Amino acid sequence: MLQRWGRLFGLACIAVTVVSAIALTGLHRTAQSSAMNKGIEPPDVSAKSVFVLNADTGEVLYEKNPDEVFRILSLTKLVTAYLLVDRMGDRLSETIKINWPHLAGGSSAKLKRLDVWTLQDLLYGMVLVSGNDASLAIADAVGHDLLASEGQRGDTAKATARFVEEMGAAAKTLGAHNATFADPYGLSPQNAATARDMGLIAAQIFVDPRLLPAWACTERTLHIEGRQPRTVTLKTSLEILGEGSVIGAKTGSHVSKNIYNLVTAWRAPSGQTIVGVVLGSKSHPARYDEMRAIIDAAPRDFPELGAVETATKRASTDTCH
Protein backbone atom coordinates (compact mmCIF):
# COMPACT_ATOMS: atom_id res chain seq x y z
CA MET A 1 0.00 0.00 0.00
CA LEU A 2 2.79 2.40 0.94
CA GLN A 3 4.58 1.57 -2.30
CA ARG A 4 1.36 2.25 -4.25
CA TRP A 5 0.88 5.64 -2.60
CA GLY A 6 4.53 6.41 -3.20
CA ARG A 7 4.14 5.70 -6.89
CA LEU A 8 0.98 7.87 -7.08
CA PHE A 9 2.71 10.69 -5.25
CA GLY A 10 5.68 10.45 -7.60
CA LEU A 11 3.42 10.57 -10.66
CA ALA A 12 1.59 13.59 -9.21
CA CYS A 13 4.91 15.37 -8.68
CA ILE A 14 5.94 14.66 -12.27
CA ALA A 15 2.59 15.98 -13.55
CA VAL A 16 2.93 19.18 -11.53
CA THR A 17 6.47 19.62 -12.81
CA VAL A 18 5.39 19.15 -16.44
CA VAL A 19 2.44 21.54 -16.09
CA SER A 20 4.69 24.11 -14.42
CA ALA A 21 7.27 23.77 -17.16
CA ILE A 22 4.60 24.21 -19.83
CA ALA A 23 3.22 27.26 -18.04
CA LEU A 24 6.67 28.81 -17.70
CA THR A 25 7.45 28.07 -21.34
CA GLY A 26 4.15 29.69 -22.35
CA LEU A 27 4.92 32.77 -20.27
CA HIS A 28 8.40 32.94 -21.77
CA ARG A 29 7.02 32.73 -25.29
CA THR A 30 4.42 35.36 -24.48
CA ALA A 31 7.13 37.62 -23.11
CA GLN A 32 9.22 37.06 -26.23
CA SER A 33 6.24 37.86 -28.43
CA SER A 34 5.46 41.03 -26.49
CA ALA A 35 9.07 42.14 -26.63
CA MET A 36 9.30 41.48 -30.36
CA ASN A 37 6.17 43.51 -31.02
CA LYS A 38 7.16 46.58 -29.00
CA GLY A 39 9.15 48.94 -31.16
CA ILE A 40 11.86 51.34 -30.06
CA GLU A 41 11.73 55.12 -30.40
CA PRO A 42 12.27 56.22 -34.00
CA PRO A 43 14.84 58.83 -35.04
CA ASP A 44 13.88 62.37 -34.04
CA VAL A 45 10.88 63.26 -36.20
CA SER A 46 8.12 65.86 -36.22
CA ALA A 47 5.48 63.26 -37.07
CA LYS A 48 2.92 62.83 -34.31
CA SER A 49 2.69 59.10 -34.90
CA VAL A 50 5.14 56.53 -36.30
CA PHE A 51 4.93 52.79 -36.88
CA VAL A 52 7.56 50.68 -38.66
CA LEU A 53 7.12 46.95 -39.21
CA ASN A 54 9.10 44.11 -40.75
CA ALA A 55 6.46 42.76 -43.14
CA ASP A 56 8.22 39.39 -43.42
CA THR A 57 8.59 38.61 -39.71
CA GLY A 58 5.92 40.76 -38.04
CA GLU A 59 8.54 42.41 -35.83
CA VAL A 60 7.76 46.00 -34.86
CA LEU A 61 10.90 48.09 -35.31
CA TYR A 62 9.89 51.64 -34.34
CA GLU A 63 6.82 53.18 -32.80
CA LYS A 64 5.68 56.56 -31.51
CA ASN A 65 2.05 57.03 -30.43
CA PRO A 66 1.13 54.16 -32.79
CA ASP A 67 -2.48 53.83 -31.59
CA GLU A 68 -3.63 57.45 -31.90
CA VAL A 69 -6.35 57.86 -34.54
CA PHE A 70 -5.72 60.31 -37.41
CA ARG A 71 -7.39 61.29 -40.66
CA ILE A 72 -5.65 59.18 -43.27
CA LEU A 73 -6.81 61.03 -46.40
CA SER A 74 -5.43 59.41 -49.58
CA LEU A 75 -3.79 56.57 -47.62
CA THR A 76 -7.32 55.21 -47.98
CA LYS A 77 -6.37 54.19 -51.52
CA LEU A 78 -4.17 51.40 -50.15
CA VAL A 79 -7.34 49.58 -49.14
CA THR A 80 -9.09 50.43 -52.41
CA ALA A 81 -6.17 48.88 -54.33
CA TYR A 82 -6.17 45.83 -52.06
CA LEU A 83 -9.89 45.21 -52.59
CA LEU A 84 -9.56 45.56 -56.36
CA VAL A 85 -6.92 42.84 -56.68
CA ASP A 86 -8.42 40.70 -53.94
CA ARG A 87 -11.80 40.66 -55.64
CA MET A 88 -10.97 41.03 -59.34
CA GLY A 89 -7.21 40.46 -59.60
CA ASP A 90 -7.58 37.96 -62.45
CA ARG A 91 -9.98 40.25 -64.35
CA LEU A 92 -8.09 43.52 -64.53
CA SER A 93 -8.44 43.59 -68.32
CA GLU A 94 -12.19 44.17 -67.88
CA THR A 95 -13.40 47.66 -68.74
CA ILE A 96 -15.76 50.23 -67.28
CA LYS A 97 -17.41 53.16 -69.05
CA ILE A 98 -16.82 56.42 -67.22
CA ASN A 99 -19.78 58.62 -66.39
CA TRP A 100 -20.66 61.66 -64.29
CA PRO A 101 -20.66 59.93 -60.88
CA HIS A 102 -16.99 58.98 -61.36
CA LEU A 103 -15.73 62.51 -62.00
CA ALA A 104 -14.73 63.49 -58.46
CA GLY A 105 -12.87 66.65 -57.50
CA GLY A 106 -9.41 66.85 -56.00
CA SER A 107 -6.47 64.88 -57.38
CA SER A 108 -7.38 63.37 -60.73
CA ALA A 109 -6.29 60.80 -63.31
CA LYS A 110 -8.12 62.94 -65.92
CA LEU A 111 -10.99 60.57 -66.56
CA LYS A 112 -13.54 61.94 -69.03
CA ARG A 113 -17.20 61.11 -69.43
CA LEU A 114 -17.73 58.16 -71.83
CA ASP A 115 -14.09 57.09 -71.60
CA VAL A 116 -13.54 53.34 -71.48
CA TRP A 117 -10.82 52.36 -68.99
CA THR A 118 -9.55 48.93 -68.03
CA LEU A 119 -9.42 48.14 -64.33
CA GLN A 120 -5.65 47.75 -64.67
CA ASP A 121 -5.31 51.31 -66.01
CA LEU A 122 -7.60 52.65 -63.29
CA LEU A 123 -5.28 51.03 -60.73
CA TYR A 124 -2.34 52.93 -62.19
CA GLY A 125 -4.41 56.11 -62.34
CA MET A 126 -5.11 55.77 -58.64
CA VAL A 127 -1.61 54.71 -57.55
CA LEU A 128 0.59 57.00 -59.67
CA VAL A 129 -1.35 60.28 -59.43
CA SER A 130 -3.75 59.47 -56.57
CA GLY A 131 -6.78 59.91 -58.82
CA ASN A 132 -9.99 60.28 -56.84
CA ASP A 133 -11.86 59.72 -60.09
CA ALA A 134 -10.01 56.43 -60.69
CA SER A 135 -10.79 55.37 -57.12
CA LEU A 136 -14.50 55.99 -57.65
CA ALA A 137 -14.54 54.03 -60.89
CA ILE A 138 -12.78 51.12 -59.17
CA ALA A 139 -15.27 51.24 -56.29
CA ASP A 140 -18.15 51.22 -58.76
CA ALA A 141 -16.81 48.19 -60.66
CA VAL A 142 -15.93 46.15 -57.57
CA GLY A 143 -19.10 47.23 -55.76
CA HIS A 144 -21.26 46.05 -58.67
CA ASP A 145 -19.37 42.73 -58.65
CA LEU A 146 -20.05 42.34 -54.94
CA LEU A 147 -23.73 43.16 -55.37
CA ALA A 148 -24.09 40.72 -58.27
CA SER A 149 -22.54 37.92 -56.21
CA GLU A 150 -25.18 38.65 -53.56
CA GLY A 151 -28.03 38.61 -56.07
CA GLN A 152 -28.50 42.37 -55.96
CA ARG A 153 -28.48 45.20 -58.46
CA GLY A 154 -27.94 48.92 -58.03
CA ASP A 155 -26.60 52.17 -59.40
CA THR A 156 -23.14 53.68 -58.87
CA ALA A 157 -24.15 55.11 -55.49
CA LYS A 158 -25.30 51.73 -54.18
CA ALA A 159 -22.27 49.94 -55.61
CA THR A 160 -19.90 52.48 -54.05
CA ALA A 161 -21.65 52.19 -50.69
CA ARG A 162 -21.28 48.41 -50.85
CA PHE A 163 -17.59 48.80 -51.70
CA VAL A 164 -17.01 51.13 -48.74
CA GLU A 165 -18.71 48.62 -46.45
CA GLU A 166 -16.33 45.97 -47.76
CA MET A 167 -13.35 48.27 -47.10
CA GLY A 168 -14.13 48.22 -43.39
CA ALA A 169 -14.41 44.44 -43.36
CA ALA A 170 -11.16 44.03 -45.30
CA ALA A 171 -9.27 46.37 -42.97
CA LYS A 172 -10.35 44.37 -39.94
CA THR A 173 -9.28 41.16 -41.68
CA LEU A 174 -5.84 42.73 -42.10
CA GLY A 175 -5.74 43.58 -38.37
CA ALA A 176 -6.63 47.28 -38.71
CA HIS A 177 -9.38 47.32 -36.10
CA ASN A 178 -9.53 51.10 -35.67
CA ALA A 179 -9.78 51.92 -39.38
CA THR A 180 -13.02 53.48 -40.62
CA PHE A 181 -14.05 54.53 -44.13
CA ALA A 182 -16.78 56.67 -45.70
CA ASP A 183 -15.43 56.86 -49.27
CA PRO A 184 -12.89 55.00 -51.46
CA TYR A 185 -10.42 57.90 -51.88
CA GLY A 186 -10.06 59.68 -48.53
CA LEU A 187 -11.77 63.08 -48.60
CA SER A 188 -14.16 62.29 -45.75
CA PRO A 189 -12.98 63.05 -42.17
CA GLN A 190 -14.46 59.66 -41.31
CA ASN A 191 -11.64 57.96 -43.19
CA ALA A 192 -9.41 57.47 -40.17
CA ALA A 193 -6.96 54.97 -38.70
CA THR A 194 -3.89 54.62 -36.50
CA ALA A 195 -0.31 54.32 -37.69
CA ARG A 196 -0.39 50.71 -36.48
CA ASP A 197 -3.50 50.08 -38.59
CA MET A 198 -1.86 51.52 -41.69
CA GLY A 199 1.34 49.58 -41.03
CA LEU A 200 -0.56 46.29 -40.82
CA ILE A 201 -2.44 47.11 -44.02
CA ALA A 202 0.77 48.11 -45.80
CA ALA A 203 2.51 44.94 -44.62
CA GLN A 204 0.01 42.93 -46.69
CA ILE A 205 -0.24 45.23 -49.69
CA PHE A 206 3.45 45.84 -50.32
CA VAL A 207 4.29 42.13 -50.45
CA ASP A 208 1.43 41.30 -52.85
CA PRO A 209 2.98 40.44 -56.25
CA ARG A 210 -0.23 41.51 -58.01
CA LEU A 211 0.22 45.07 -56.70
CA LEU A 212 4.00 45.47 -56.52
CA PRO A 213 4.43 46.50 -60.19
CA ALA A 214 1.92 49.32 -59.74
CA TRP A 215 3.56 50.62 -56.57
CA ALA A 216 7.02 50.42 -58.17
CA CYS A 217 6.04 52.45 -61.24
CA THR A 218 7.16 56.05 -61.58
CA GLU A 219 5.63 56.50 -65.05
CA ARG A 220 3.16 54.63 -67.23
CA THR A 221 1.57 55.30 -70.62
CA LEU A 222 -2.09 54.36 -70.99
CA HIS A 223 -4.20 54.00 -74.12
CA ILE A 224 -7.74 55.14 -73.36
CA GLU A 225 -10.69 54.11 -75.52
CA GLY A 226 -14.19 55.57 -75.74
CA ARG A 227 -15.61 58.82 -77.08
CA GLN A 228 -12.21 60.56 -77.00
CA PRO A 229 -9.55 57.90 -77.68
CA ARG A 230 -6.14 59.12 -76.54
CA THR A 231 -2.80 58.24 -75.05
CA VAL A 232 -2.12 59.44 -71.51
CA THR A 233 1.22 59.38 -69.67
CA LEU A 234 0.96 59.35 -65.90
CA LYS A 235 3.97 60.31 -63.77
CA THR A 236 4.12 59.67 -60.06
CA SER A 237 3.95 62.57 -57.63
CA LEU A 238 5.70 60.50 -54.94
CA GLU A 239 9.13 62.04 -54.40
CA ILE A 240 10.60 59.08 -52.54
CA LEU A 241 9.60 56.47 -55.12
CA GLY A 242 12.59 55.27 -57.11
CA GLU A 243 15.06 56.24 -54.38
CA GLY A 244 17.42 53.49 -53.26
CA SER A 245 15.55 50.44 -52.01
CA VAL A 246 12.04 51.98 -51.95
CA ILE A 247 9.47 49.75 -53.67
CA GLY A 248 6.28 51.67 -52.97
CA ALA A 249 4.76 54.66 -51.24
CA LYS A 250 1.54 56.60 -50.75
CA THR A 251 0.91 60.06 -49.35
CA GLY A 252 -2.16 61.51 -47.66
CA SER A 253 -2.33 65.31 -47.51
CA HIS A 254 -4.64 68.13 -46.48
CA VAL A 255 -2.58 71.27 -47.01
CA SER A 256 -5.09 73.76 -45.60
CA LYS A 257 -5.32 71.71 -42.38
CA ASN A 258 -1.56 71.08 -42.28
CA ILE A 259 -1.92 67.29 -42.38
CA TYR A 260 0.94 65.36 -44.00
CA ASN A 261 1.02 61.56 -43.93
CA LEU A 262 3.23 59.01 -45.69
CA VAL A 263 3.40 55.23 -45.98
CA THR A 264 6.52 53.72 -47.58
CA ALA A 265 7.83 50.22 -48.24
CA TRP A 266 11.46 49.35 -48.90
CA ARG A 267 13.82 46.41 -49.06
CA ALA A 268 16.31 46.12 -46.22
CA PRO A 269 19.83 44.94 -47.20
CA SER A 270 18.69 41.53 -45.91
CA GLY A 271 16.04 41.44 -48.64
CA GLN A 272 13.16 41.71 -46.17
CA THR A 273 10.32 44.13 -46.81
CA ILE A 274 9.95 46.93 -44.26
CA VAL A 275 6.93 49.23 -44.13
CA GLY A 276 6.94 52.61 -42.41
CA VAL A 277 4.11 54.98 -41.52
CA VAL A 278 4.41 58.61 -40.45
CA LEU A 279 1.22 60.49 -39.62
CA GLY A 280 0.98 64.19 -38.83
CA SER A 281 4.39 65.39 -40.02
CA LYS A 282 4.86 69.16 -39.86
CA SER A 283 5.23 69.69 -43.62
CA HIS A 284 5.32 68.06 -47.03
CA PRO A 285 9.16 67.89 -47.14
CA ALA A 286 9.36 66.78 -43.49
CA ARG A 287 7.45 63.55 -44.04
CA TYR A 288 9.88 62.49 -46.77
CA ASP A 289 12.96 63.50 -44.79
CA GLU A 290 11.67 61.68 -41.72
CA MET A 291 11.01 58.50 -43.70
CA ARG A 292 14.51 58.70 -45.21
CA ALA A 293 15.96 59.02 -41.70
CA ILE A 294 14.05 55.92 -40.59
CA ILE A 295 15.20 53.94 -43.65
CA ASP A 296 18.83 54.90 -42.96
CA ALA A 297 18.61 54.13 -39.23
CA ALA A 298 16.96 50.71 -39.44
CA PRO A 299 20.03 48.61 -40.42
CA ARG A 300 22.07 50.31 -37.68
CA ASP A 301 19.45 49.77 -35.00
CA PHE A 302 18.56 46.26 -36.20
CA PRO A 303 21.80 44.64 -37.44
CA GLU A 304 19.96 41.55 -38.69
CA LEU A 305 18.52 43.74 -41.47
CA GLY A 306 22.03 44.38 -42.75
CA ALA A 307 22.69 40.85 -44.06
CA VAL A 308 22.77 40.69 -47.85
CA GLU A 309 22.24 36.99 -48.61
CA THR A 310 18.62 37.36 -49.76
CA ALA A 311 18.75 40.93 -51.06
CA THR A 312 17.71 40.01 -54.62
CA LYS A 313 15.15 37.36 -53.74
CA ARG A 314 12.09 39.32 -54.94
CA ALA A 315 13.64 41.88 -57.27
CA SER A 316 11.75 40.52 -60.27
CA THR A 317 8.38 41.55 -58.78
CA ASP A 318 9.34 45.21 -58.48
CA THR A 319 9.42 46.17 -62.16
CA CYS A 320 6.72 48.29 -63.77
CA HIS A 321 4.94 46.53 -66.64
Q: Which residues are identified as catalytic?
A: 74, 77, 130
Which residues does 48 contact at the CB level (< 8 Å), separation at least 6? 64, 65, 68, 70, 279, 280, 281
Measured between alpha carbons, how far is residue 111 from residues 85, 117, 256, 278 in Å? 21, 9, 25, 30
Query: Which residue spans within the chain are E strands per DSSP?
Result: 49-54, 60-64, 69-71, 95-97, 115-118, 192-194, 219-226, 230-235, 246-254, 259-267, 273-279
Is 250 annotated to bind ligand?
yes
| Alpha-carbon span 46 to 230, nearest angstrom | 43
In the DSSP assignment, the letter for residue 316 is G
**Binding site for substrate: what residues are annotated?**
250
**Binding site: what residues are annotated?**
250
